[in-house]
Amino acid sequence: MQYMLIYSETAEDFALRDDPAQAPAYWGAWSAYIGSIAQAGVMVSGNGLQPPHAATTVRVRDGRRQVQDGPFADSKEHLGGYVVIEVPSLDVALDWAARSPSSVSGSTEVRPVLPPPPAPAG
């Protein structure tokens, strides 16, 4: 079964990406974690994301498009990235989530990926 691990970091942790003194440790922890997922052979795909100020949110209300700079929700945590893994159970996905650097001070959401819809009969 495939699960998406969604990594949310505090603003303070997110800022470590660009801090010359702390960025090597920040990126080193993430590289080690993602490397272990890849080495285990369970990684399907994944990406880190640009900071929240680079986001644009689109809503359609009453047939009109509304565009807002920034993320959808005002939150103390920022969506930092995601990985899709293929593992035999939710328990294994939770084990991988618990090892994430973001789980220490932010969070890691684990969500099952919808399987593709059945092919139309024909």
Token pair 């399907």 is found at 44
- What secondary structure does DSSP assign to 56-82, as a single string? EEEEEETTEEEEEES-SS--SEEEEEE
Distance set, CA 115 to CA 1, 2, 86, 119, 120 (Å):
9, 8, 12, 12, 15
Which residues are CB-neighbours of 96 under 8 A, at least 6 positions away? Answer: 5, 37, 42, 85, 87
Domain ranges of the chain: 2-112
Tell me the whole-structure pTM to 2 decimals.
0.85
- Please write the tens of the pLDDT for every residue from 6-21: 999 988 988 898 999 9
Residue 83 contacts residue 6 (beta carbons within 8 Å): no
- Segment 60-72 shows an average pLDDT of 84
At the fourth CATH level, which superfamily is domain 2-112?
Answer: Dimeric alpha+beta barrel (3.30.70.1060)
Q: What confidence category does residue 53 fall into, taking pLDDT thresholds of 50, 70 and 90? A: confident
Most confident of 34-48, 57-71, 107-121: 34-48
